[in-house]
Amino acid sequence: MDPSAPPLRCGVLGCADFARRRMLPVLAAEPGIRLAAVASRDAAKAASFGEAFGCPPVHGYEALLADPDIDAVYLPLPPMLHAEWIEKALRAGKHVLAEKPLTADPASTERLLRLAASRGLVLLENVAFPHHAQHAAVTALLAGRSIGELRDFTATFTIPPRPEDDIRYQPRVGGGALLDLGIYPIRAALHFLGPDVEVRAAVLRHQARTGAVVAGRILAVTPGGVTADLGFGMEHSYRSGCEFAGSTGRLLLDRVFTPPADHRPVARLERQDHREEITLPADDQYANLVRHFLHAVRTGAVGTSAEQSMRQARLVGRVTDLALRVTG
Q: What are the residue numbers of the active site?
A: 100
Does residue 297 contact residue 30 with C-beta atoms inside 8 Å? no
Q: Helix 183-193 vs helix 305-322: angle between axes, to the nearest 10 degrees?
A: 120
Instruction: Measure Cα distances from 69 to 1, 30, 32, 144, 154 in Å.
Output: 21, 19, 16, 49, 46
Q: Residue 82 in contact with residue 99, Cβ under 8 Å? A: yes
SS3 for 121? coil
Q: Distance (Å, rounded) from C-alpha 295 to C-alpha 33? A: 11
Helix, strand, coil shares, percent, the chain, to 5: 35, 30, 35
Q: Name residue 21's amino acid.
A: R
